Amino acid sequence: MNVKQDKKVAIITGAGRGIGRAIAIELADSGYFVIINFKSNAETAAQTLEQVRNIGGDGEILQFDVSDSDTSRQAVEHIISRFDSIDILINNAGVTADGLFIMMPEEEWDIVVQTTLKGFYNMTKPVLKKMIPAKKGSIVSISSAAGLMGNRGQSNYAAAKAGLIGASRSVAAEVARLGIRVNVVAPGLIETDMIEKAPVKEIKAMIPMARIGKPEEVAKVVKFLCSDDSSYITGQVISVNGGMF
């Protein structure tokens, strides 16, 4: 049964905290019904939904692992069965397992690549099958400055995020004539749990703006790329990194 037919629907993977949470709040504030995906932490996902509702928005929580193709496909099919359309997909889910490449266990390479890059495939393909007949939709994937420049101790993360850029640009070229836009946002150092062990003081010295970014600053760029204001933008990578090159 279809529900919420009067609202546009946005799926945000990895939306339990950090950048994903900020994106969910921004899109809810723009009138989207937000599907808040999480893998394991139900408490933080519930907090995201609470914040969405506190601003007058609405949404729901949906647990699944984007690195698993079957559960991702089933999740998208579940959403499609209940809503008229999927208007927005935000590929945000990602993990880190840092270490020097020469010492990196295979499983740490695999889990990072599977979550970010295979997750893009697992989510984007079934969502596009819904967007293509409608001839509309926007997909935004969250990459990283590491995907553009590389980063010592993050070869797996950099590879996954760089792959996300290449995949997004290729898909953008394939679906542009069908009214669907695919873009990438590449944040730099942002105030999230992922930077807890990072040498923040040293990194700040490399940032022209000399400060760490906020999740909301990334989310506002994502919101722009989801809006009609960006109707002639596709296949692009927008960095949100305080001026790093």
Secondary structure (DSSP) of 96-163: ---B-GGG--HHHHHHHHIIIIIHHHHHHHHHHHHHHHHT-EEEEEE--HHHHH--TTBHHHHHHHHH
Whether 232 is a known active-site residue: answer no
Alpha carbon dihedral 21, 24, 29, 35, in 10-degree steps, equals -140
DSSP state letter for 214: -
Active-site hit among 32, 121, 157, 232: 157
SS3 238: strand
Cβ-based burial of 136 (10 A; exposed 0-12, middle 13-18, buried ≥19)? middle
SS3 21: helix
- Among candidate residues 200, 87, 72, 190, the one with its CA nearest the CA of residue 134: 87
224: its two tokens = 């722009």
Please, are residues 190 and 19 in contact by the beta-carbon 8 Å criterion?
Answer: yes
Residue type, 40: S
Cβ-based burial of 14 (10 A; exposed 0-12, middle 13-18, buried ≥19)? buried
Rounded Cα distance between 241 and 235, Å, is 19
Query: Which residues are catalytically annotated?
Result: 157
